[in-house]
Chains A and B, each alone.
Chain A
């Protein structure tokens, strides 16, 4: 790897006084987010009758969003922690983006399961009367643990940069921010001993986040597979969800990389190589994903049980879900493999565009997991009320969904004003990294 000129002064500018464009963007995002809050208040006051959810389809895009955002978080955690543990040099510039992706999608995703609650005022009952047998309790425990760990890890990787910002005299920021950097830097001065402790903290945290995230995401799938329903009651669901999560998160990371690269002129740090490597990862994951999808449906289709067939018929019926199914297959599998698989198509812009579609297709997949199955219970629905037979998304749910996206972007926008979006110290470190990492010490080390 070529040596890059990495220095905090290259990023100081991005942290100083925000431009009008930045303010406008924050304002716009805040409005979208606030509109979502308004929708939530309306839902709280009027009851869930104003959502599109009804008996049968009692869960809708809130649940799909919940699974989707949680999934996004997973890839970020995996990439940054693997990069840390395995001392992968090229990943270092992406680490902060990956961690921010993890934390922001966790913060945005977790509330979506709460929007499903009919009685938000009783949310504390989850702790007061919690039952350990319920997958929801597992999720609550796992996700809150994951969130704490990921926030901690995000902070750990910031410490040295905060120290650098504290020690950078020409930084033109408000005094409170300087004070904040000073506190958050924990008095890090870069002595060998401090380096050692920080490294240990990093490694321990990274090592524990990987299984935590896998568990959290596996538990998420149990919300579905623990129910006796066609299309859900599947043993493959946990690994399937984990792979889907990694796939969607990696795709979104590509999009984020592209945006920052363009916006902040980071071509020196985020190179063609990164897109290339991630494209390779995406192709690999798209194959694994296709393999899982195929296994999942093939076994059930081969058996031809009655209710599953009814569900499958809906996926092939253009009056029902065939449109979404085709979209999903094309953009989650066919297009990525073709575009990312052939070198002459694998341009930075193409990789990003395909990634964007992968993200959308995988959201569609979540929708296809949640809704059609709910509409296909064992006892066929015999109801004259069409909204009880077919789920349709109401404005409230759209408002909250878009406000979720807005909040996520907002977190990125604000966070990248606090610290450099490229982890300066990490990248610097990576340049001097000669020795391969040691996973387990052997006797005599």
Chain B
């Protein structure tokens, strides 16, 4: 619904050939020709070729039931203020695997119809102390359990749900930007100008999909709840070529990066997972695995960037700490 799945497929081609088994098994859902779609949402169909007992190949159309959460259609209006029952979405980011490939950013931008200069997900170069090595730090909305942004919203346009998500209702946002200011992680961005046109109409707007974007309102990472309803990982997690981003449901105690699924508790326990700036008391729902035994040299992430873009990392790389040289 949101994106061009076709190009996403193309991007994932490499991965899919190697993990075809898993991928194909996950989508193949039985030749039950008349499948009830209880959600009542627009039923997607797929055409399949079937070899009959007579030895003929016939093409039939059957509904695809991608629905993993009922209802499958993202809720509209005030219904979106309720969380998905029984879910507690979390993300775990393995900093040892990130090499600033920026595929997560591209996947997110494509999926959410953002301009190339609008990043819901940013990859920062971080350095914890002057002696340690810099590392790449992907940062999207942390969907905090004590969200400073939600506290300050004067109209309840941004809200916290029972399934951990912090979403923005663009139909209600008055654009005061107090939430942008209140977020200590600089997560939120503002639509300063008319955003690119979207296929989704304003009547279909759901805070879970965040489309269409509206000028003068705030937008941010929505954890792709609409994709979760179809059992799909968020764009960022599924685009990461390194499998650095694990997404999942904490209630199920499972997080997946698309190729590997692990227990959340185990992963965070074994790898000394931490939350960024725990001391702020915001209780984020994004965990980081420390950048130890990194798979890549951080400098490999600079390779494809222009000189101008590399310059913004100088402060971190040369320990100048924000001072002008």
Point out the residues of chain A lying under 8 angstroms from B182, CB to CB: 226-228
Query: How near does chain A come to B279, taking the closest CB pair, in angstroms?
Result: 10
8 Å CB interface, B212-226 against A? 214-218
Interface flags, B286-321, vs A, CB<8A=1, else 0: 000000000000000000000011011101100001
Distance between Cα atoms of A49 and B194 in the complex (Å): 9
Contact size range, B: 35 or more
User: Counting CB contacts under 8 A, is B173 at the interface?
Assistant: yes
**Would you call B191 and A118 a contact (CB within 8 A)?**
yes
User: Counting CB contacts under 8 A, is B181 at the interface?
Assistant: yes
**Would you call A380 and B322 a contact (CB within 8 A)?**
yes
Query: How near does chain B come to A137, taking the closest CB pair, in angstroms?
Result: 5
**Would you call B324 and A136 a contact (CB within 8 A)?**
no
Name the residue on A nearest B139 (C-beta).
Answer: A379
User: Counting CB contacts under 8 A, is B323 at the interface?
Assistant: yes
**Would you call A55 and B189 a contact (CB within 8 A)?**
yes
User: Counting CB contacts under 8 A, is A215 at the interface?
Assistant: no
Interface of A, helix, strand, loop or mixed by DSSP? loop
**Would you call B178 and A134 a contact (CB within 8 A)?**
yes
Instruction: Using A116-B177, A377-B185, A380-B322 as known contacts, list a sample of 8 further A-B pairs with CB atoms less than 8 Å apart, ordered by residue number in A.
Output: A58-B177, A118-B175, A118-B176, A129-B156, A134-B151, A134-B154, A137-B154, A228-B280
**Contacts A58-B177, A227-B181; is A136 near B192 (CB within 8 Å)?**
no
Contact size range, A: 35 or more
User: Counting CB contacts under 8 A, is B68 at the interface?
Assistant: no
Interface flags, B187-215, vs A, CB<8A=1, else 0: 01111111000000000000000000011
Distance between Cα atoms of A383 and B217 in the complex (Å): 21
**Would you call B181 and A317 a contact (CB within 8 A)?**
no
Distance between Cα atoms of A119 and B174 in the complex (Å): 5
**Would you call A136 and B312 a contact (CB within 8 A)?**
no
8 Å CB interface, A96-134 against B? 113, 116-119, 122-123, 125-126, 128-131, 133-134
Point out the residues of chain B lying under 8 angstroms from A47, CB to CB: 191-194, 215-216
Distance between Cα atoms of A313 and B190 in the complex (Å): 28
Distance between Cα atoms of A320 and B172 in the complex (Å): 37
User: Counting CB contacts under 8 A, is A19 at the interface?
Assistant: no
Point out the residues of chain A lying under 8 angstroms from B184, CB to CB: 227-229, 377-378
Distance between Cα atoms of A213 and B120 in the complex (Å): 40
User: Counting CB contacts under 8 A, is A341 at the interface?
Assistant: no
User: Counting CB contacts under 8 A, is B124 at the interface?
Assistant: yes
Name the residue on A nearest B126 (C-beta).
Answer: A379
User: Counting CB contacts under 8 A, is A432 at the interface?
Assistant: no
Distance between Cα atoms of A298 and B6 in the complex (Å): 58
Point out the residues of chain B lying under 8 angstroms from A116, CB to CB: 175-177
Q: Which 5 A-B pairs have the closest CB atoms?
A: A118-B175, A118-B216, A136-B154, A49-B193, A134-B154
Interface flags, A52-70, vs B, CB<8A=1, else 0: 0111101100000000000
Point out the residues of chain A lying under 8 angstroms from B83, CB to CB: none
Distance between Cα atoms of A431 and B309 in the complex (Å): 73
**Contacts A378-B186, A379-B186; is A49 near B181 (CB within 8 Å)?**
no
Q: List 30 A-B contacts (CB under 8 A).
A: A49-B193, A53-B192, A55-B186, A55-B190, A58-B181, A59-B181, A116-B175, A116-B176, A117-B174, A117-B176, A117-B216, A118-B174, A118-B190, A118-B216, A122-B175, A123-B174, A125-B174, A126-B154, A129-B172, A136-B176, A136-B178, A227-B152, A310-B321, A313-B322, A319-B324, A320-B324, A374-B181, A376-B322, A378-B184, A382-B125
